[in-house]
Amino acid sequence: VGNFRNWLNEQELNDGQTDLRIQHLLDRLRDDKLNVAFVAEFSRGKSELINAIFFAGYGQRLLPSSAGRTTMCPTELMYEEGREPCIQLLPIETRAADTTTTEYKRYLDEWKIVPLDIESSDSMVDAFLHVSQTKRVSLDEAARYGLYNEKDENNIVTVHQDGTVDIPCWRHAIINFPHPLLKQGLVILDTPGLNAIGTEPELTLNLLPNAHAVLFILAADTGVTKSDIEVWRNHIGNQQGHQKGRLVVLNKIDGLWDEMKSADEIEREIDKQVSASASLLGIKPAYVFPVSAQKGLLAKINQDEPLLEKSRLLALEKSLSDELIPSKQEIVRDNTQGEIEQMEANIRSILDARLSGVREQLDELLGLRGKNEDVIEHMMSKVKNDKEDFEKGLQRFQALRSVFSQQTNILFAHLGMDALKAEVKNTRVAMVEARFTKGMRDAMNKFFKDANENIAQSAKQIEEIKGMMGAMYKKFNEEHGLSQAAPTSFSTLKYHKEIARLEKAYNEHFNTVLNMLTHEKISLTTKFFETLANRVVHVYKVANQDVENWLKAIMSPMETQVREHQLHLRRRLESIKRIHKAT
């Protein structure tokens, strides 16, 4: 992509718009990440698996790993170039506000920063312990953070005799350090136990669905439990049709290693567990990987090849590197190739126009060889007339620009962020003021209906703009010989799909009798806006950016052709003037 940009500059083919598109492409390639979420119930060995796959090179466990719950908050492991290695910790108190974790990521001063000394493994282990810190608070405080509800039987906290509960100190953690895999753009999302997913709606509605891959960890000693099946079906297995990027890890197979049994008997027992797990989750057995994370970690630290082979960790790592990473690269490659091909087509049309102009000019000049002054003056007059005709066409082009601007304003009125934010505010007021459940439901349903309707109106306006530009391209082609490129299409389907997904999540997680009865109105309203409404706002932001890029893309080729044609006419006139002067 960089070489393409350099070549455009050398050939004087680069303009501001093309250069901006190339810069966006380069930025996207640099920022591109592969997000892999690790999800499991407590005590399935999830943290141990992350240690075994990614951090065995440090010679000891980096992530805390012991019996019971060790992952207290969603934790992202990543590397951001230019930043010092550190752990960012978002205080649990921020859950009392109506702000998402994603939004807090923009404000570094809201996080506690723990520096990482990457030269010292012991120092890093101590720093990593911050992530699993807890504190004891009153029931009222836990309820304020959405971590306790006396009407909910599935509370993830245990009430002590003095009426207090232990809660995580942190809402979210981001660990930034230069591991080779993380440098390549890998981001690991380590989630709390499955029962904790519902307490941080952003996990359910944003982080998990948007993960390129999810590793769902079971334990061979417990098999597939009822809560495992529920979370797989509701949050992982069928998210947006992502079947391929969903892998199941059957951990702790070392519990099946029995010295009283032969290797074949142990193999059959493991195969039986794999088949049973695959059947219960409704996936192919090929997507279930039996491993022993603990033995795999031990084998890597001690460089014990036979034990590493027996742990089967390498088969899982191979699947990650051979299937998930290449499939992500394929998506990135396709997107990049599509953009470059579009730019190449625009450049090719410019070069074709230049070549055609040069040939026409050459024919004119050859035709003037040996001609008298009258013929040369006639040719000069003809070129002047062509230039005047084109300048009249330019006036029509300026008029088109004016209409284009008006149509664009109408389009952005439908997609306007101010209007959407006003809609969010009105919905919030309606929900707070609603005296009955029906009033709250009506407010939420209207919010989704209006969001979809605005995008539908935008689609109609887009078609109108496309038709207008198509007619103008045709007119300039007929009158001035400019190449007739059909304006590219723009589909709003993906925005409708994403809003439909969010509405489905609303119906499953909010719009239920149980939720309406067991949650206070303020709590439900807060959760709705903290998650779903903010996600709809995000969809609109993306749509605005995409539409803006499309509008530039359909106007840019015409602007470039008009500019090139002007230069061509000027060069023709100057050449004939020089010949006229010489005669």
- 38 with 88, same domain: the answer is yes
- Examine residue 65 and state whether it is found in any structural domain, yes or no: yes
Domain endpoint, select from 305, 332, 359: 332
Residue 198 pLDDT exceeds 50: no
- For 114-146, write each residue's pLDDT tens digit: 999 888 878 888 888 888 888 999 988 888 887
| Residues 219-227, mean pLDDT to the nearest whole number | 84
Residue with the two structure tokens 């730019």:
343
- 486 with 561, same domain: the answer is yes
Q: How far apart are CA 462 and CA 517, in angstroms?
A: 43
- Examine residue 153 and state whether it is found in any structural domain, yes or no: no
| Residues 263-289, mean pLDDT to the nearest whole number | 90
Ramachandran region of residue 36, left (φ > 0), alpha (ψ -120 to 50) or beta? beta
Domain containing 68 equals 32-133+169-332
Strand partners, 78: 176
- 310 with 382, same domain: the answer is no
Strand partners, 249: 217, 289
Pick from 36-50, 200-214, 328-342: least confident: 200-214
Q: pLDDT value at position 240?
A: 44
Domain endpoint, select from 309, 332, 355: 332
- 372 with 328, same domain: the answer is no
Q: How far apart are CA 444 and CA 431, in angstroms?
A: 8
- Examine residue 461 and state whether it is found in any structural domain, yes or no: yes
- Examine residue 149 and state whether it is found in any structural domain, yes or no: no
Asked if residues 290 and 250 have their Cβ atoms less than 8 Å apart, the reply is: yes
DSSP per position, 176-196: E---HHHHTTEEEEEEEEGGG
Task: Decide which of 333 and 193 is more confident.
Answer: 333
Residue 242 pLDDT exceeds 50: no
Residue 522 pLDDT exceeds 70: no
- 414 with 476, same domain: the answer is yes
- Examine residue 144 and state whether it is found in any structural domain, yes or no: no
Q: pLDDT value at position 303?
A: 92
| Residues 351-369, mean pLDDT to the nearest whole number | 75
Asked if residues 36 and 76 have their Cβ atoms less than 8 Å apart, the reply is: no
- 321 with 388, same domain: the answer is no
Q: pLDDT value at position 221?
A: 82
Number of domains in the chain: 2
Q: Model confidence at 241, in pLDDT bands (50, 70, 90)?
A: very low
Phi and psi at residue 162, in whole multiples of 5°? -85, 10
3-class DSSP state of 214: strand
Task: Decide which of 227 and 293 is more confident.
Answer: 293
Domain endpoint, select from 332, 352, 387: 332
- 77 with 193, same domain: the answer is yes
Is the sign of the CA dihedral 419, 523, 191, 237 positive or negative? Answer: negative
Asked if residues 282 and 268 have their Cβ atoms less than 8 Å apart, the reply is: no
- For 420-453, write each residue's pLDDT tens digit: 888 888 887 887 777 777 787 788 888 889 999 9
* Cβ atoms < 10 Å from Cβ of 31: 9
Residue 550 pLDDT exceeds 90: no
- 307 with 376, same domain: the answer is no
Half-sphere exposure of 535 (CA within 13 A, CB side): 26
Residue 312 pLDDT exceeds 90: yes
Strand partners, 138: 164
- 569 with 425, same domain: the answer is yes
The CATH number of whichever domain residue 105 belongs to comes to 3.40.50.300
- Examine residue 375 and state whether it is found in any structural domain, yes or no: yes
Is the sign of the CA dihedral 98, 87, 316, 295 positive or negative? Answer: negative
Q: What are 325's two structure tokens?
A: 């990473």
Task: Decide which of 463 and 203 is more confident.
Answer: 463
- 76 with 181, same domain: the answer is yes
Q: Model confidence at 480, in pLDDT bands (50, 70, 90)?
A: low
- 274 with 224, same domain: the answer is yes
- Examine residue 58 and state whether it is found in any structural domain, yes or no: yes
- 388 with 308, same domain: the answer is no
Q: What is the mean pLDDT of the chain?
A: 79
Q: How far apart are CA 63 and CA 48, in angstroms?
A: 7
Q: pLDDT value at position 473?
A: 78
| Residues 183-189, mean pLDDT to the nearest whole number | 82
Closest CA to 44 of 220, 278, 200, 284: 220
Phi and psi at residue 175, in whole multiples of 5°? -105, 120
Q: pLDDT value at position 86?
A: 94
3-class DSSP state of 111: coil
| Residues 197-211, mean pLDDT to the nearest whole number | 59
Q: pLDDT value at position 395?
A: 75
What percent of the chain has pLDDT above 70? 80
**Encoded amino acid at 78, one letter:** M
- Examine residue 64 and state whether it is found in any structural domain, yes or no: yes
Residue 197 pLDDT exceeds 70: no
